[in-house]
Amino acid sequence: MDIAKQLSHIPLFQGLEPQYLQTLARMAIKKFFKRGETVFAEGDPGTGFHIITTGRVKVYKTSPDGKEQILHIMSQGEPFGEVPVFTGQRFPAYADALTDTSTLFIPRDDFINLIRTEPSVALSMLSVLSQRLKGFTVLIEDLSLREVPARLAAYLLYISERNQGADDINLDISKTQLAGILGTIPETLSRILARMTKEEIIESDDKRHIRICDRTAVEELAAGQRRLA
């Protein structure tokens, strides 16, 4: 069956026996969201979670005056919105589709029943949540203990690493959204990019492309051992 096949490629369900994939496939509900559409809002009750089949979703918080802190950008194969499944409470953040997005929606009760019969699913989910906790500790550390240039530098290295250490970095998000990830605003990000460019640490010609020119300098910035003029 089509859905079962899709599910079999999802890391969360790696190694799951075919019979359980079938069970999951029967409980999954296909959903579709247009670019910019809300998947869920903070405070909504959560009756299940989503797994992205195509597209991208940003999970974020906002302040009254409109500043945005992005918590995650989720891509194909990634689950999101699981927290209320296990707490029984409401969504702690917003989620919007960044592009046209298809998801499989797994209803809460069905999923919990699956866990009861198949503990390996529980272990996978525990791993996912633990990874996410680890990710949040890094974000908290960034926001609290490091300045924006260091956060940006660390982000560039992270993206570079994800691309086998390439110097050319393709942010596949707008700089406004990058600011939202780094916990700052577009103006500040723009200024810091300009300073890094002037010091020949990076080149930032094109809109969504940055090139690392002086990797050592970027690493020192990320480690807080160097500061911009």
Partner DNA sequence: CGTGCGCTTGACTTTTTTCAATAAAGGTGG
Partner DNA sequence: CCACCTTTATTGAAAAAAGTCAAGCGCACG
Question: Which of a second copy, DNA, none does 148 bind, CB closer than 5 to 8 A by kind?
Answer: DNA
Residue from 41, 122, 166, 194 touching a second copy (CB under 8 A): that is 122
For residue 81 the two structure tokens come to: 């919105």
- Can you tell me the distance from the alpha carbon of 157 to that of 164, in angstroms, rounded to the nearest whole number? 11
Residue from 51, 193, 196, 222 touching DNA (CB under 7 A): that is 193
Report the site for DNA in 156-185 (rule: CB under 7 A): 174-177, 183-185
Shortest distance in whole angstroms from residue 49 CB to a second copy = 11
Q: Does 173 bind a second copy (CB under 8 A)?
A: no
Beta-carbon count within 10 A of 215 CB = 15
The stretch near DNA (CB under 7 A) out of 41-49, 104-112, 114-122, 188-196 is 188-196
Of 150, 142, 156, nearest to 210 by C-alpha is: 156
Nearer to a second copy, 112 or 194 (CB): 112
Point out which residues pair with 202 in neighbouring strands: 212
Residues lying near a second copy in the complex (CB under 8 A) are found at 61-65, 67, 69, 71, 82-89, 92-93, 112, 115-117, 119-120, 122-123, 125-127, 129-134, 136-141, 143-146, 183, 223-224
